[in-house]
Amino acid sequence: MKLNTDRLKNNILKLGSIGRTMYGGITRLGFTDEYYKAADLFKELLEDAGLEVHIDKVGNVIGRKKGKKSEKIIMTGSHLDTVVNGGIFDGNMGAVAGLEFAYYIKENNIKLNHTIEIVGFNAEEGGEMGGTFGSRAMMGLIDLDKKGLVEKLGKYNLSIDDIKNSTIDTDRIKCFIEFHIEQGNILYENNIPIGIVSGIVGITRYKITALGESNHAGTTMMKGRKDAFQALAKLAVQSDDYISNVDDILVGTFGVVNIYPNMANVIPGKAEAILELRHMDQNVIDDTIERIKAIADSIDSAKFTFEKIISKKSCQCDKDIISIIDKVCKDNNIKYKTIHSGAGHDANAIAKKAPVGMIFVPSEKGKSHCPSEWTDWDDIEKGCEILFKTLLKIDEQI
């Protein structure tokens, strides 16, 4: 299989550079001018590759080529948005790999049995609308009755009807294959070029509030203080110790910390943080949060409240698709490892409605969501070869 590696590389760099910042990274947030500039360019490239293309009401770019025998859709692609000051490969690489597959079948006059759709999703990285917004809208997974949704949509000139008009008939999806950088260090440290993803972790977030007692920072002695921030810090440290010893999959992060009144001469009477837990098994997450609540009860300098704000369950990749990717790797003598994904992906949303598979390539030193995010071009080429052959193998199944 001969790929046009120069075109693949140039398109990754061209699309990936939209939104470059003075700090060396890329900021191409969903719904921004930078995002729609990338979406328009991706649309042009998909059209050049011979696909019929449209951008739906929520900003997803969808290129389609009708199959000769089946109306069922084989989908591939990834997201076009980035985090603030992120890298050029996250999402973008998988979308451009799908584009290159379209060029490949066009230039080799390959007539697929199934309709193929190459998708560049909007707003995977999250924000006010929540992560994987574009793919969730497409799958019909947005709760249209959720309080405040209309107001949030209005900020992006969107309506409930726009969400409805972006939802597709998911029964027509045969499968979705997402090609992505690992964003971790397992493949890189073990010098393995391909990761076959077994599943994607669940993500649960709690808003934790510590309530203490504000007082004068100079006249209130240390003994007997009810410092909410100190209490929250103790909870974070003790929770981290516990999480670190559960297993090799569970991860937990305290972030988005707010202190009140946030003044140098006032003891904080209130402190808040978001705790995020990720694991393949929701029971492990639930057991962990109960343990952390028990730790909070043991800290007597503040009272704690826990509010669950996000709960996205883990998903398993389709076993038949995993087997196909496995066979493709073996047939082509390419070393691989089966691993889970610790990051969320559009595949997670689509898995609620259709079979999914994911192919990973290494991230240098495990870095992602930063300007130094890098994946070697040789690894990307190998990954594209596995992706293309997987798609062609799936297309044979009528």
Binding residues for Zn(2+): 79, 90, 125, 180, 369
Q: At 337, which helix (H) or strand (E)?
A: strand 336-341
Tokens of 359: 């192919």
CA distance linking residue 338 with residue 387, whole number of Å: 15
| CA gap 121, 284 in Å, rounded | 31
What is the residue type of 358?
A: M
* DSSP, res 343: S
CA distance 132 to 122: 8
Q: How far apart are the first and last CA of the chain?
A: 23
Locate the DSSP E strands across 107-153.
114-121
Token reading at 215:
């007082």
Residues 330, 107: Cα–Cα separation, whole Å = 27
Residue ranges of the annotated binding site are 79, 90, 125, 180, 205, 265, 278, 369
Distance CA 134, CA 130 (A): 10
Residues in the chain: 398
Tokens in use for 83? 């985090």
The annotation places the binding site for allantoate at 205, 265, 278
